[in-house]
């Protein structure tokens, strides 16, 4: 069959047809089978010609698809190579990290700040851009802020080279300084801790009981939330330890718990809005119901429950007070997962939080609750460390063992808040509603 050719076949059939036509007197017993054979063979040839044409068209289509796919793959591959070359330290493998930080370019930022008010940020930018050569520094973006200029680099080497040049230039020394901003660290909550755990010992105990020596100086207690039988601790943590803590059970005193990420939204826990913080709330004796958005008094009279406590036990009417103001659908509780305004706030915080597993942030001071002089850390964006009582204490009288405990014990867990501390940044914890 290797020498089979449709044209030769066609020619043979044409010859047979001519022989039949040109020799009419040949015996009918010879001509009749030939005449019968001819149309069959012709339609057989036609059928195979069409099949061959169709198959060769299909083959061409497949070839084109393969070539297109090759091109796409090459492009993708090139993009991956480019990315790897520009960001050698940012490959993140855990699924948790990917979810937390979707496709965000991981720039290395350097801030340059004028010293002694000699220059304005605009002049700082001009001075640097006109002096520092970009021949061997790759910079993605320069932006002028209120008090400084931000330079964004694609990799460590460009960032370090830039800091070196600016810091070692004698012309710049007196007028400006370049530094890396401290990233905003993730915050976690450890829920339902037993009151036998001393607040001031939380960090130490966490490290010792869980063999987390590398956590030392990389975690800091922000505040605690008192509840009837247990309390929650809110801590901020260096980005490089965040995933390690999230993936395991932690033991703290007589409690096992998991580190859950939490977001400090900065809303007023009474009014549920973002215009002011709880510490400066003008409605201290009223609280809004997260479900229906109505306000009720939190004052208790004659050991009766407050109006607010009575209401939230029975409220079944969903009308989000935040979405109502913005003319959005209100069929959900305020600051719940279903609330688009809450979702937006959380996204905003997440976008500004550093989840880079390579980034180490050190907190200089061990947390010592209620001592504001010890609250300075490398992370100024974090709220100061503080002790906070459960915002619904009217719901939950203190546990009996606290009332009968020695004075020192009582003091340790009772909310004593220094007047100069900012109490406003509230974690969002639905449990209390
Ligand atoms: Zn308020
Ligand atoms: Zn209500
Ligand atoms: Zn809402």
Grade residue 111 by pLDDT with cuts at 50, 70 and 90: very high
* Domain definitions of the chain by residue range: 6-72, 104-179, 186-433
The 10 Å Cβ neighbour count of residue 307 is 18
As for the ipTM of the complex, it is 0.93
Ligand 1 centroid, distance to 373 Cα (angstroms): 28
Q: Are 283 and 426 in contact (CB under 8 A)?
A: no
CA–CA separation, 22 vs 15, rounded Å? 10
Ligand 3 centroid, distance to 288 Cα (angstroms): 14
CA–CA separation, 189 vs 167, rounded Å? 40
Q: What value does the mean pLDDT take over residues 178-200?
A: 90
Q: What is the pLDDT of residue 138?
A: 93
Under CATH, what is the fold of the domain 104-179? Answer: Alpha-Beta Plaits (3.30.70)
Ligand 1 centroid, distance to 356 Cα (angstroms): 35
CA–CA separation, 367 vs 199, rounded Å? 9
Structure confidence by residue, pLDDT tens digits, 255-287: 999 999 999 988 998 999 888 988 899 988 999
Ligand 3 centroid, distance to 327 Cα (angstroms): 10
Q: What value does the mean pLDDT take over residues 410-425?
A: 34
pLDDT > 80? residue 103: no
Ligand 1 centroid, distance to 327 Cα (angstroms): 21
Of the bound ligands, which one is closest to the alpha carbon of residue 292? 2
Structure confidence by residue, pLDDT tens digits, 155-181: 889 999 999 999 988 888 888 989 988
Structure confidence by residue, pLDDT tens digits, 365-398: 544 444 333 333 333 344 434 444 443 333 333 3
Report which of residues 399 and 139 the model is more confident about: 139
């Amino acid at each position: 069959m290797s020498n089979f050719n449709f044209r030769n076949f066609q020619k043979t059939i044409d010859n047979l047809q001519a022989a039949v036509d040109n020799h009419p007197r040949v015996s009918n017993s010879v001509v009749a089978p030939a005449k019968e054979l001819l149309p069959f063979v012709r339609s057989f040839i036609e059928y195979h010609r069409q099949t061959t044409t169709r198959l060769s068209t299909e083959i061409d289509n497949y070839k084109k698809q393969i070539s297109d796919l090759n091109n796409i793959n090459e492009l993708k591959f090139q993009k991956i190579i480019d990315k790897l070359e520009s960001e050698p330290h940012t490959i993140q493998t855990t699924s948790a990290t990917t979810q937390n930080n979707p496709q965000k370019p991981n720039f290395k930022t350097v801030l340059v700040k004028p010293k002694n008010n000699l220059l304005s940020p605009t002049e700082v930018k001009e001075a640097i851009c006109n002096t520092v050569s970009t021949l061997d520094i790759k910079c993605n973006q320069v932006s002028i802020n209120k008090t400084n200029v931000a330079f964004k680099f694609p990799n460590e080497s460009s960032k370090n080279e830039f800091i070196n040049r600016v810091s070692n230039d004698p012309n710049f020394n007196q007028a400006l300084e370049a530094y890396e901003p401290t990233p905003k660290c993730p915050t976690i909550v450890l829920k339902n801790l037993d009151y036998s755990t001393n607040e001031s010992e939380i960090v130490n105990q966490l490290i010792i009981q869980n063999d987390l020596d590398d956590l030392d100086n990389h975690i800091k207690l922000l505040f605690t939330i008192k509840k009837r039988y247990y309390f929650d601790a809110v801590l901020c943590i260096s980005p490089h330890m965040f995933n390690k803590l999230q993936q395991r059970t932690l033991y703290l005193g007589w409690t096992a718990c998991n580190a859950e990420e939490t977001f400090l939204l900065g809303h007023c826990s009474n009014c549920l809005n973002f215009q002011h913080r709880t510490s400066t709330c003008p409605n201290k004796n009223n609280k809004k119901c997260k479900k229906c958005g109505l306000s009720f008094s939190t004052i208790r009279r004659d050991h009766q429950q407050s109006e607010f406590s009575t209401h939230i036990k029975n409220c079944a009417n969903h009308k989000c007070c935040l979405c109502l103001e913005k003319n959005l659908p209100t069929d959900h509780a305020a600051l719940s997962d279903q609330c688009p305004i809450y979702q937006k706030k959380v996204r905003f915080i997440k976008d500004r939080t550093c989840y880079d597993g390579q980034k180490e942030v050190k907190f200089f001071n061990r947390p010592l609750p209620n001592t504001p002089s010890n609250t300075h850390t490398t992370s100024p964006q974090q709220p100061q460390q503080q002790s906070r009582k459960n915002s619904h204490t009217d719901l939950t009288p203190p546990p009996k063992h606290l009332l009968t405990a020695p004075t020192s014990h009582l003091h340790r867990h009772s909310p004593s808040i220094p007047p100069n501390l900012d109490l406003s940044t509230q974690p969002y914890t639905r449990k209390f509603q």
